[in-house]
Structure 1
Amino acid sequence: MTLNSLGLDTKKTKEIATDLNHLLANFQIYYQNLRGIHWNIKGKRFFDLHVKFEELYTDANIKVDEIAERVLTLGETPLHTFEDYTAVAQVPVGKNISKDDLSVRLIVDSLTELLKIERLILDKSGDANDEGTNSMMSDFITEQEKTIWMMNAWLDE
């Protein structure tokens, strides 16, 4: 087994970095979805949702940076083109969504996909003793589960 400068198995960290790049691509689509629904939301709930969507896209933008920097920390190169993102992303793309319930449903569906990827990374990073990635995924999962709960409460589901 070859260890990197972090003391982690290079083979395992390369695989984790690949998975983090997959997460990065999906987060970029999620971020862009949030921008789109923030710009296009209409209706009686405009003021509340417009502010909430801005809060979510600001948080997503921070997470995008954290993911990319973790990929770099693990010695790999983060994906950084929309071509790369769309080639691997599974998060649904929300186009021209302006209705409140469809906007919130898009958030729930997107976060559900992100959680699947994050849990996979959490398992692998735990196995690799990669506490930095493990902690990041744990924090992301905790926040996103709460957001899904709140969005589902809003949807009354």
Structure 2
Amino acid sequence: MKINSIGLPVKESQILVDDLNTLLANFQIYYQNLRGIHWNIRGKRFFDLHPKFEELYNDAQLKIDLIAERVLTLGGTPLHTFEDYIQHNTLEIGKNISNDEKAVNLVVTSLTGLLVIERAILEKSGAVNDEGTNSLVSDFITEQEKTVWMMKAWLEEGI
């Protein structure tokens, strides 16, 4: 078995690179969705949601950079074109959403989709003792689960 410069199996690392690039593409779509709802939100809850969406897109931007850096650490090349992002995306693309509940629902469904991808990555990275990817993805999952809970509470829905 070939080992890369950080002590992980090359073949499994390439699989993780591919999965992380899928996560990266989906995060870029999530980020762009957040920008759109931040810009277009209207109504009585504007003053609550406008800054919340900004907080979320700033956080997503930081996570995008962390994912790309992990891809590089594993010996891969991060996806970086809009064509790549669309091709690898599995999330709903929100267009011209100005309604508060539709916007929050988009956040919830997007995070739920990201969590599915992240849990699959966590399973694979755990199998090869890739603690760097485990830690990164585990932290994302913890934060996103809390955000889903808060958004669903805002929507007055149960988990």
- Secondary structure of the residue aligned to 1:94 is coil
1:18-57 alignment runs, 5 A limit = 18-57=18-57
Aligned partner letter, 2:137: M
2:84 aligned residue:
84
Aligned partner letter, 1:96: N
TM superposition shift of 1:144: 0.2
1:136 aligned residue:
136
TM superposition shift of 1:105: 0.1
2:17 aligned residue:
17
- Secondary structure of the residue aligned to 1:5 is coil
So what's the TM-score if we normalise by structure 1? Answer: 0.99
Which stretches in structure 1 are left out of the alignment for 5+ residues?
A: none
1:108-123 alignment runs, 5 A limit = 108-123=108-123
- Secondary structure of the residue aligned to 2:98 is coil
1:127 aligned residue:
127
1:152 aligned residue:
152
Aligned partner letter, 2:75: G
Taking the aligned partners of 2:73 and 2:53, their CA distance within structure 1 comes to 30
1:96 aligned residue:
96
Q: What value does the CA root-mean-square deviation take over the aligned residues?
A: 0.3
Taking the aligned partners of 2:52 and 2:137, their CA distance within structure 1 comes to 23
TM superposition shift of 1:128: 1.0
TM superposition shift of 1:73: 0.4
1:83-124: CA deviation from partner (whole Å, max 9, x where unpaired): 000011001100000000000000000000000000000000
Among all aligned residue pairs of Structure 1 and Structure 2, give the percentage whose two residues are the same amino acid: 70
Q: May I ask how many residue pairs the two structures share in their alignment?
A: 157
Taking the aligned partners of 1:88 and 1:66, their CA distance within structure 2 comes to 18
Aligned partner letter, 1:128: V
